[in-house]
Amino acid sequence: MKRNTIQQDRALLDLRRAMFMVARSRREDLKGRGVSRLRSQIILGEHDHCLPDMVTGTRMMATLDAMRPEDMDPALDLFRIMVETVAQRRQADTLIKAWVQMGISAKFGESLLNPRRGTRIGWPTWYLVWDCALGSGNALTKRRRTAI
């Protein structure tokens, strides 16, 4: 997908923030309000000095952009980073808000992130989340009519 320079820079910043959020929340085993507080701080740019470098972010973006229908069921960490990128872009302090803004029910969204539930991530869901995270967001307007 072609992005202009401003879109590319913004998407890369949000992706790097999401990568930091996923790594930090896993390392500190944060729960509930701790996660929400950290996400809000990251949205405000308070941790920008700790973000992964541009090269790492660019590699991750290339990996996510290269995914195709035949690559489904993707690694859960990749999907988690994309959902977190949506939360950063939409300035949602909880993943529930990010799911709702994408038109996906929070219950279904959480089941996608829980490996014990065994819910597969299909191409339509992957593409919707990818488009909201790194794309133009056009899939969101089409998806709103029929929420998952």
Domain extent for 123: 5-146
Q: How many domains does the chain have?
A: 1
User: Which range (5-9, 53-57, 96-100, 124-128) has the least confidence?
Assistant: 5-9
Task: Name the more confident of 48 and 144.
Answer: 48
Inter-CA distances, 55 with 22, 30, 60, 108, Å: 18, 27, 9, 33
> Is residue 108 over pLDDT 60?
yes
Confidence of residue 2 (pLDDT cuts 50, 70, 90): low
DSSP codes of every residue in 56-81: HHHHHHHHHHT--GGG-S--HHHHHH
**Alpha helices, DSSP H, located in the chain:** 5-28, 33-43, 54-65, 76-89, 95-102, 106-113, 123-133, 138-143
pLDDT in tens, 79-103: 989 999 998 888 888 888 999 989 8
In this prediction, residue 4 carries a pLDDT of 67
Task: Please tell me the pTM assigned to this model.
Answer: 0.78
In this prediction, residue 146 carries a pLDDT of 45
> Is residue 126 over pLDDT 80?
yes
Helix, strand, or coil here: 52?
coil
> Is residue 63 over pLDDT 80?
yes
> Is residue 127 over pLDDT 60?
yes
